[in-house]
Amino acid sequence: MKVTIDGIEIDVPKGTTILQAARMIGQEVAPPTMCYYSSLKTSGGYCRTCIVKVTQGSAANPNPMPKPVASCRTEVMDGMVVENVTNKDVLEARKGVVEFLLVNHPLDCPVCDQAGECSLQDLGYGHGAATTRYEFPRREFERIDIGKYVQLHMNRCIMCFRCVKVAEQLTDNRVHGVMHRGDAAEISTYIENVIENDFSGNVIDVCPVGALTDKTFRFKSRVWFTKPVDASCDCKKCSGKVRLWMKGEEVLRVTARKDQWGEAEEFICNTCRFDRKKTSDWKIEGPTKVDRHSVISQNHYNHLNELKVQILKQQKALGFMDINKRP
């Protein structure tokens, strides 16, 4: 099936969503996502940040779709034409969505563990306005400890439903969910309960903001002062492929390996995540490649050459003069 996104045509198999097709083309045209998670079924469609305009439904039915659609939940049709970054209305609408997401967000980044790897920070920086027009008190909740390892800070939650889907699809027994409705809706366990199972820690990885944090890492360090290293071990419960966040020789925290879209490649078990915090527990594979735009890359000097090539390529694309070929 042929689909055109922002003027770039790509051939994709049937059943591909617009978002997946856009990701195949590349980062430049891929809409941002907050609630979609490719490895979780039925995720996506809630946050509305990935909305795009379909200017031609399909080759058979060339009418445009009347409303912007959520690209993560809309499958492509043959001959579909989609506008994302080339459509002003889409960018304006996305700006509105970012504003809505931030309406009840405390913006406590300076004291939030997620800062530096937060999807909402990236989204706000890339698509949001500089100031807020919201002048009312934001909603507030008490912090809740759900189990030994995870803390829930509902103030920061953007209701992406990812942690609910993880509990539903990865573990045997879901004890937490969404309660109440509207802007009073909250993630919680029904009649205070603890989430205790081997894979409960994955809710931390899927949380796009700092609502669910690792209690063994809380306030230990800013993420950009730690160095990510890929490591593995023989684990009976999971694949054992993890990312260690190190400060010197110390392992401060363990997470799943995340791809360029911020999604875990493979979910890991709680033993790997919380109990194996010595370098001797792990076979180190090497330093993680971090995108140079990420704040985490500031602690990285490992692939300078690659970086140089990348920068030169971008300068060339922007029409900069090659400094080595000056007349």
Partner 1 sequence: MGRKLLIHNDKVPGIHTLEVYRAHGGYASVEKALKTMQPDQVTDEVKKSGLRGRGGAGFPTGMKWSFLAKPEGVPRYLVCNADESEPGTFKDRYLMEKIPHALIEGMITSSFALGAKQSYIYIRGEYFYVARILEAAIAEAYAAGWLGKNILGTDFSHDCYVQVGGGAYICGEETALLESLEGKRGNPRIKPPFPAVAGLWGCPTVVNNVETIAAVVPIVNMGGEEYAKIGIGKSTGTKLISASGHINKPGVYEIELGITVEEFIYSEEYCGGIRNGKKLKAVVAGGSSVPILPTELILKTAKGEPRLMTYESLSDGGFQAGTMLGSGGFIAMDEDTSIVKNLFTFSRFYHHESCGQCSPCREGTGWMEKILKKFLDGTANESDVDLLWDIQSKIEGKTICPLGEAAAWPVAAAIRHFKHEFIEIAQKKKFVDISHYDRLNKIRA
* Window 83 to 142, contacts with partner 1 (CB under 8 A): 93, 96-97, 99-101, 103-104, 133-134, 136
Q: Would you say 104 or 213 has its CB closer to partner 1?
A: 104
Q: What is the 3-state secondary structure (H, E, C) of 49-88?
A: CCEEEEEECCCCCCCCCCCCEEHHHCECCCCEEEECCCCH
90 is written with which tokens?
């889409």
57 belongs to the binding site for partner 1 (CB under 8 A)? no
**Does position 317 bind partner 1 by CB under 8 A?**
no
Contact between 181 and partner 1 by CB under 8 A: the answer reads yes
Q: By CB under 8 A, what part of segment 226-245 binds partner 1? A: none
Of 4, 16, 21, 68, the one binding partner 1 (CB under 8 A) is: 68
Q: Does 67 bind partner 1 (CB under 8 A)?
A: yes
- Applying CB under 8 A, which of residues 111, 130, 184, 317 lies at the interface with partner 1? 184
How many residues in the shown chain lie near partner 1 by CB under 8 A? Answer: 31
From the CB of 178, what's the least distance to partner 1, in Å?
Answer: 7
Binder of partner 1 out of 21, 22, 29, 47 (CB under 8 A): 47
* Contact footprint for partner 1 (CB under 8 A): 45-48, 51, 66-68, 70, 73, 93, 96-97, 99-101, 103-104, 133-134, 136, 158-159, 177-178, 180-185
